Structure formats: structure tokens, C-alpha cells
Amino acid sequence: MEKYTIKDKQKFDEIMWNKNQQSNIEDIFYKKTEKYIKFIKWIPWIRMIWIWNSISMNSATKDSDIDLLIVSENKKIWLVRILVTIIFQILNVRKNNKHHAWRFCLSFFCTLNWLDFWKFKLEKDPYLYFWILYFKPILNYNWTYDLFLKKNESWADLSNFKKDINKNKTYIKYNKIPKIYKYLNIWEILNKIFKKIFLPKTISSYNKINKPYGIIISDDILKFHNWDIRKEISKKMW
């Protein structure tokens, strides 16, 4: 089991960002995220939305984008991904090749089946450990954040950081789950249709960039990180 101390966290912060205090710019990013999550919070198959990476680590700059991790119900990941992408595209706030700063990066979706991140953990993975610690849940339906922590406690001992976890929970703004035609079987059919349409293109792009280990594509996780620095961070920590 991986367990780290306050000193380890300080070292991680120094390696990653050399900044430990929150600044006004993070507050602005959080407010923008709260504003635009209002447009997708009605999607009844979303279970949780986190902010992560530079903003959650208090290291944002004026050039930062807004990284979101979105958790969906099982068998709804493609449906959720396409709906969120379309809505943010219409609102003109989705990150693209030309526009990066202040826009939303939709590169990480997973289902309730994949809440245990041990499934893609490296042998020694301090980056993944502190990733989890820094996640800021903005939308949290059915106590999914607590379920997530419980799922990962078998390998990530966060007992030294209970104050951090409690502080993370103060970021939750949306916790009342909608009930819009949630149980109709047609939505699972639509999820299969979206998968059939978009999966081949996704796999093709993955193959073209030589299958980096930071990218994972399955029925329960869509993680698109070409630049995964976990191995590098592990070496620097020791």
C-alpha cells in the first residue's frame, strides 16, 4: 500500500509546480467551472465531475485550461461523453487545437466500474496518489466521491491527509441527481450507437501516435493523455 507524509506532499509540489498556496486565478477557474457545469448537470447518467491537474493543485496560470474528469453510470460512458462534448462545443468553451487557455479539456471519462484507479496504477505511482488527493469534486451525485475514496483505499492510504479530503468536499456545488427518463432502455441502445460511430476513429488516432501508456480506451474508461509523466515523477521523488 502506498502511503505518504506531509513532507512527501511538499516534495511532490516542489517537483510539479513549486507553488503551494492558492491564488485568485484558481478561484476564477472554479467559478467558471461551476457556471458551465450548470449546462450539463441535468444529464442523468453523470455521477461526478472533478477538476484536476494544475487548477486543483493550485498551480494555474493565465494560460491554463480546465481539466475535467467525468464519471458516468455503467454502460453510459459514450452517451455522456458525446452529450457533454456537444454542449460545450455549442457553448464555445471546449478546448481545441487553436484555443487552449480558459477552455475545458474533456480528456478523461470513466464509469462507476472504474472508480478503483489501481487498475492503471504503476508499481510506484506517487503522481497518481497525489492526483487523487488533489481532485476537487464540483458535482457529486449519490455520494460518488466517498465511494471513489473507498474504492482506492486498498492501495492508497490517505489517512495522513484527512483535512485535505474534507476541504475537497467543500468544493461540491451540485449534489441533487436529476431524474430525466433515466431508466429507459433506449439510452443504452444510443450509447452502443455512439460507441459504434466514434470508437473506430478513436482507436485509429491511438494507433497513429504509437499507443502511449497514458491513453486507455475501454467500455469503462476513456483516458486521453498523450503526455503521461507518472514514470518521470516517480524517479524524481526518490
Give residue 88's pLDDT. 98
pLDDT tens digit string along 6-62?
Answer: 999 999 988 877 554 556 799 999 999 999 999 999 998 999 999 998 899 888 888
Better-scored residue on pLDDT, 209 or 95: 95
pLDDT level of residue 70 (50, 70, 90 thresholds):
very high
pLDDT (0 to 100) of residue 14: 87
- What is the reported pLDDT for 5? 95
Lowest mean pLDDT among 75-79, 114-118, 224-228: 224-228
Task: Report which of 83, 85, 151, 79 is spatially closest to residue 114, judged by C-alpha positions.
Answer: 151
pLDDT at res. 21: 53
Lowest mean pLDDT among 90-99, 139-148, 154-163, 205-214: 205-214
Quick one: average pLDDT of 68-93? 96
Q: Which long-range contacts (CB under 8 A, 24 or more apart) does 11-20 make?
A: 11/237, 12/126, 12/127, 12/130, 12/233, 12/237, 13/57, 15/233, 15/236, 15/237, 16/57, 16/59, 16/233, 17/54, 17/57, 17/58, 17/59, 19/58, 19/59, 20/58
Write out pLDDT tens, residues 147-156.
999 999 999 9
Q: What is the Cα–Cα distance from 224 to 216, expressed in whole angstroms?
A: 7
Q: What are phi and psi of 157, to 5 degrees?
A: -85, 105
pLDDT at 89 over 80: yes
Share of the chain above pLDDT 90, in %: 68
pLDDT tier, 181 (very low <50, low <70, confident <90, very high otherwise): low
Burial of 73 (0-12, 13-18, 19+ CB in 10 A): buried
Q: What residue segments make up the domains of the chain, in order of their start?
A: 2-237
Average pLDDT of the residues of the chain = 90
For the domain spanning 2-237, the CATH number is: 3.30.460.10
